[in-house]
Structure 1
Amino acid sequence: MRRRGLVLVFALAAACRRAPADRYPAASVVLVSIDTLRADRLALYGYAKGATPHLDALGREGVVFEDAYSHCPLTLPAHSSLLTGLLPPHHGVRDNEGFSLAEDKRTLATRFRAAGFETGAAVSAYVIRASTGLSRGFDRYDDALPIDPAVEALAAQRRDGAQSVDSLLGWIDARPARGRFFAFLHLYEPHAPYLPPPAYQRLGDPYDGAVAYADELVGRLVARLRERGRLDGVILAVTADHGEGLGDHGEQEHGLFLYREAVHVPLVLRLPGAARGGTRIAGTLAQVDIPATLLDLAGLPADGMDGRTQRAVIARGTVDSRPVYSETFFPRYHFGWSELLAVTDDRYRYIQAPRPELFDARKDRAERANLAPQRAETVRAMAGWIENALGRVGAAAPSAVPADVAENLRALGYVGGTARLGSTSGPLADPKDEVGAYEAFRRAGALHDGGHDEEAVRELRRLLADSPRMVDAWHLLGLALFRMGRTPDAVAALDKVVEIEPTHAGAHLALARIDAIEGRPDHAARHAQLAAATQPGPGFETLAELMLRANRLPEA
């Protein structure tokens, strides 16, 4: 009898361990996204050189998912997946530029607010400003960035994450003690240029220093929640939108490739009361599973999502194995090279490219040995999975140019009216073969940012001789030439941008400035209107400045 009783006790204990994690219908939810954070640069994932004590502590109190993967190595598309639970082909945001989240896409904030939650966010970079559509459903979405006049590209504007933390904590502190809220925090510290505070420059590697500062900011958030007695009533998730190349396959930053370093992201989930603390979950998990899991843990439905809740596997310690899809159209949209698609499962990582690649996910985590030539059947199966799961994945068709935009283009002497997708008349270049050109473009950008415009122009001229449709290089060339006082050459370069991409906001803003200086206010206003078609904020601001200069106060 005693033996039978012991067997029953052990059986019950095992059943409890396998039972799904609890739902927390009274809990609030906090989601933290640390931009550009590689999982393998954290001690939680085996890295020994950094300094991330706050994330380490959070891992001890929470559940660590070992193999979470992003769907895109770009900030806006990845956050669109994180906040909707939809894959990029389904939410429609395929690049940081020229896309916004459609109004019919439900966000986490929309769902939480419909369930009675108050919703607030604070973000640290222009690229996920409110006008992208990510603010939908938030009662408060703080994207108030101080504009740095030394930074020419609006997309590069950012703020110290401490400001975002303080903003969000102020909003949380103002919430009623018994009320439920959903809070979203976005930190940008690990994104280039890496600018760690002096205290973290001792780490030597600027990226590690930036990660360490982001860790400190997460620590501030957790400490305040703990001090206010809120932490144990919160479901807290900390993750990243994507990783960073750091030269592992020739790419220093991100966007061009889909190797592991660009899409493997950390995920730590702290449950109320630190339930299941110290658990590690093995197995491939999709970024879209994160919002589905948060909703389910909060007792809400996650219908209409591509993601699946992981609540039931937290106790089991292993996720249900299924492939994860990733994509990047960055090389296609910006340089006219081929897009890349990828599939990740527990056994292999497949990258669909003009020359496909297949890596052993268990034995070759650095992804150095391409098995595609020897494993043709596996390649066909994984390529077939993409088509079966998502249909024929292609670049989003360019939007038709509105009549008023086309009229302004014609008035300025431009012919044509569609955004670029790169030539499809022949095979597109494999980004692997063009990484040298891409890094040359990055070097030219660094030279320009550092005030070395003559060297930047030389680098860009060499680059454009081989890649004449690299629109971003023409744009940078125009900016550098203008700053050097070579206005006619600058206009010629910027006109080339508009020839390739008629609605390129950056080129039109630069041409508006030049026309204003050269005494052509009507042309300047048309360029500002064209910029406003895709970038309303800076476009209308420039237009207002032009009206003020012309003493047309009512129109301004």
Structure 2
Amino acid sequence: MDSSSGRDVESHEPVRNVVLVVLDTARASSVDLSATTDRPRTRSGPPEELPTPTLNRLAADGTAFEHAVATAPWTLPSHASMFTGLYPSEHGTHGDHTYLDPTLRTLPEAFSDAGFRTIGVSNNTWITEEFGFDQGFDDLRKGWQYLQSEADMGAVVRGEDIREKLEATRNRLFDGNPVVNAANILYSEVFKPSGDDGADRSTSWIANWLESRRGDRPFFLFCNFIEPHVEYDPPRAYAERFLPDGASYEEATAIRQDPRAFDCEDYEITEREFDMLRGLYRAELAYVDRQVGRLRNALEDAGEWDDTLFVVCGDHGEHIGEHGFFGHQYNLYDTLIHVPLVLHGGPFTDGGRRDDLVQLLDLPATLLETVDVDDPQLREQWSSRSMHPAARDPPREAVFAEYVAPQPSIDRLEARFGEVPDRVREFDRRLRAVRTAEYKYVRGDDGFERLHDVVDDPFERTDLAANEPERVRSLRGRLENRFEPLESAGSNEAIDMRDGTKERLADLGYL
């Protein structure tokens, strides 16, 4: 029986397929899964519009996890944890080593060897074959491209005017197949929906694949939507629904969005401007939520919805002025590691709300158990615990997160900005966090430490470390029991990237 709803988990038919949708940079604090889609009016006026009505309906019909925690505050290590069931220091994929170790067993490999068709559509440059994430996929596509190509024509899209666009076209057109490159340029410049960063194209491709696929093999489908990531540039119609009173679309979209420059005090953002940026961010969530609805419709049209475990999560969160930060680097506040997580299908249908502590690295054990697949190699490797209502795994008493290496490094910041502020130089450290139901403790390899009462101080504003030495000692012991000493840093083997990849990652604020 599921203790949260009193239902008999054995009464549900097993599912055949698994769909894992990652809303890149979706933070739990901006996705209220407890809210209904028909909020009543209040005396002070109309209710604030929900950005994710599709996800809220899924949460109402499926199982919502209120305390889901990412293992890392950014894309690369977080996805590696979801694919391997390991913490960043265990899988070794992070800012100083940006390639997923091919000797590690991955979730797509487990599904593939169990007879599943494995399809991936990624709109984040990190989650591509260039960084080793194609392991186990029959097909891993770049969602932002009209035609698949190793050459990225993003430099054309980023051109500020026609002169820059023509120059970029001339420089890149013959980098690979010029016909394919021309088609990708034409799509991006003419036919791509305004404010879309690949979600519309990805959802349409998946719908066509579902409609045209042959045979009765079950499938594992992974999709990363990147719209909530910097830069926030939602379609005007979405933006205008969420901008604060008195703010125009033109004013909001003119705000400079350069997180690393903001960190290095190259420019300032006022609180009013942050309010507008938060509106744009919520609009991005609303836009991508619509794509989640389209995916559900495509599965229903293909007759696969009732046989599918449908999972939606954020891979990490985002700072939009909170704690004085913009973006998602250099710390482990809950703003960055507390993420939305909803499962629907099989034993997770009508599952209610779960308030136990879970991690995104628990997905491999959960997904495989739900479709009755056992993979001894992956099971022997992982730190994953199943969230299945009938799982034998004990509930977690604590969850953990790591920031293995600054991304970008302080050296890269100095190369770009010259002298960087002392505040930023302090970020050149390795961090680990342990979070229980009541407390959160963060420790750095430079002696930095913070303690927060996350019940009374959910926004982590008050550091209690100096006042509660015994609790600090206890939680520090948990970290030391779980991981090797903080002083042993990870491998420093970042791979050489293609020029187009560097440009796209720079646009996302990573380089």
Length-normalised TM-score, structure 2 = 0.70
Q: Using the alignment, how far apart are the partners of 1:13 and 1:186 within structure 2?
A: 30
Counterpart of 2:232? 194
Kept after mapping to 1: 8 A contact 2:121/2:223: yes
Q: Using the alignment, how far apart are the partners of 1:116 and 1:260 within structure 2?
A: 38
Q: Secondary structure at the match of 1:102?
A: coil
Offset, 1:171: 2.5
Letter in 2 for 1:172: L
Counterpart of 1:392? 485
Tell me: CA distance 1:396–1:275, structure 2 relative to 1, closer, same or farther (3 Å).
closer
Q: Secondary structure at the match of 2:201?
A: helix
User: Which structure has more RCO (C-alpha within 8 Å, separation ≥ 6)?
Assistant: 2
Counterpart of 2:300? 226
Between structure 1 and structure 2, the one with the greater Rg is 1
- Residue pairs, 1:108-507, within 5 angstroms: 108-143=107-142, 145-146=144-145, 147-149=153-155, 150-151=157-158, 159-176=197-214, 178-202=216-240, 203-204=242-243, 205-272=279-346, 276-277=349-350, 279-301=352-374, 303=379, 304-312=381-389, 320-331=395-406, 334-335=409-410, 337-353=428-444, 354-393=447-486, 394-399=488-493
Length-normalised TM-score, structure 1 = 0.65
After superposition, the CA RMSD in angstroms is 3.2
Counterpart of 2:260? none
Offset, 1:229: 1.7
Kept after mapping to 2: 8 A contact 1:37/1:266: yes
Q: Using the alignment, how far apart are the partners of 1:194 and 1:377 within structure 2?
A: 43
Offset, 1:86: 1.1
Offset, 1:275: 5.4
Counterpart of 1:527? none
Aligned length: 392
Residue ranges of structure 2 left out of the alignment (5+ in a row): 37-47, 146-152, 160-167, 173-187, 189-195, 244-278, 411-424, 503-511
Offset, 1:25: 5.4
More moved, 170-179 vs 193-202: 170-179
Kept after mapping to 1: 8 A contact 2:89/2:404: no
Deviations 1:179-219 (A, max 9, x none): 20000010001001111112201111100100100100101
Deviations 1:334-374 (A, max 9, x none): 11612221111112111113331111122211111111111
Kept after mapping to 1: 8 A contact 2:332/2:401: yes
Offset, 1:49: 4.5
Kept after mapping to 1: 8 A contact 2:16/2:218: yes
Structure (1/2) with the larger helix percentage: 1
> Does 2:76 align with 1:76?
yes
Offset, 1:278: 5.1
Tell me: CA distance 1:15–1:167, structure 2 relative to 1, closer, same or farther (3 Å).
closer
Counterpart of 1:86? 86
Kept after mapping to 2: 8 A contact 1:33/1:187: yes
Q: Using the alignment, how far apart are the partners of 2:429 and 2:3 within structure 1?
A: 50
In the TM superposition, structure 1's runs of 4+ consecutive aligned residues that sit over 6 Å from their partners are 12-16
Deviations 1:490-535 (A, max 9, x none): xxxxxxxxxxxxxxxxxxxxxxxxxxxxxxxxxxxxxxxxxxx612
Deviations 1:393-435 (A, max 9, x none): 4321324xxxxxxxxxxxxxxxxxxx8xxxxxxxxxxxxxxxx
Offset, 1:385: 1.4
Kept after mapping to 1: 8 A contact 2:5/2:352: no
Kept after mapping to 2: 8 A contact 1:356/1:372: yes
Q: Secondary structure at the match of 2:120?
A: strand
Offset, 1:50: 3.4
Q: Using the alignment, how far apart are the partners of 2:433 and 2:357 within structure 1?
A: 14
Report sequence identity in percent. Answer: 31
Deviations 1:466-486 (A, max 9, x none): xxxxxxxxxxxxxxxxxxxxx
> Does 2:25 align with 1:36?
yes
